[in-house]
Chains A and B, each alone.
Chain A
């Protein structure tokens, strides 16, 4: 049984829920562009952004510097590789993890009003919070040199998208005209 019924809720509540979900999707589309531009969508690019460079290995370093010179095509000069170091990751984490929690809490408020079985409701609530947390767990593990955890960050991103889409789909179905008189299961 639901904590409340979104289907039987006040019209203003339904309007607010629908607009929140639509604007959240709008925001997510820009989040995608941001990720695509500055972090990348493949494990290789994501790990290149978050895994620190190996740095100086003085044991293997020769005594003298050596140089190579080659012709340069100005049309192929790469821009600075965007990387995220520990300080920047702290900065990113402190705001994003909090916002993920707020979004997960708001999605939970909607989930509580959907006519879902309790086990499915709880699963989705856990998924809403866990995927956001795991996104940054992956980033921190990469920051510790474990590049393979790029997959964790990418999969948690997919997970967040999936939770959002399931909630959106169920909400729209619940709010469709003609369903308001149905009794909750």
Chain B
């Protein structure tokens, strides 16, 4: 009895209960799948300065939580960048959602995918994705209004999936602002 008690006590040592996240696509898989021509991968960390922060606020009306933004670069055979990946998180009362964005050499989105949701949000996110939302972001670039992707979804989604779609569009808009402002091909 004592042994059972000790074993149970050991397993119940901490009892904070976060709303669990659900990884829909692993970061490494997303990078590999959306940069198929890449032969080498690089991680570029940009620490935001005052000028760029002002520009981000002006274009997207948002202030990043973290001053360090990570870009995942894929390089081809000729050492030229074939694409850049950015993961943009947005918090909701039901847990965080993360969107993976791949930008092509011309600076437009080539792939947008929800990479992380939570147990609660996953079915709503899947409804929004199933309605074709993510394909509507392809081709967008900084300056474009990501919320235009919601235009054709009117009436197709229920309340919570529609809310998720709006949050996803917000995340994409923020991702485009970060990429357009902070990513410079020639940076160190």
Contacts and interface: CB of A to CB of B under 8 A. Distances in A.
Contact of A62 (B12, B15, B50, B115): B50
A168 B9 CA distance: 12
Interface in B140-188: 182, 184, 187-188
Interface stretch (B86-94, B104-112, B122-130): B86-94
Interface stretch (A3-11, A52-60, A107-115, A119-127): A52-60
Contact of A161 (B9, B18, B67): B9
A51 to B, nearest CB: 12
B46 interface: yes
A71 B40 contact: yes
B44 interface: yes
9 contacts: A28-B11, A49-B16, A61-B48, A61-B50, A62-B50, A74-B31, A80-B96, A87-B92, A161-B8
Nearest to A33: B11
A92 B120 CA distance: 12
Contact of A68 (B28, B45, B95, B98): B45
Interface in A92-138: 92, 96, 135, 138
Interface of A: 25, 28-29, 31-32, 34-41, 46, 49-50, 53, 55-58, 61-75, 77-80, 82-85, 87-88, 90-92, 96, 135, 138-139, 153-154, 156-158, 160-162, 164-165, 168-169, 172
A70 B188 CA distance: 9
B14 interface: yes
Given A38-B20, A91-B93, A74 B15 contact: no
Contacts of B67: 56-57, 61
Interface centre among A40, A41, A56, A71 (most CB of B within 10 A): A56
A135 B46 contact: no
B179 to A, nearest CB: 13
The 5 closest A-B pairs by CB, nearest first: A157-B15, A161-B12, A65-B49, A72-B41, A67-B187
B125 to A, nearest CB: 14
A72 B42 contact: yes
Contacts of A138: 16
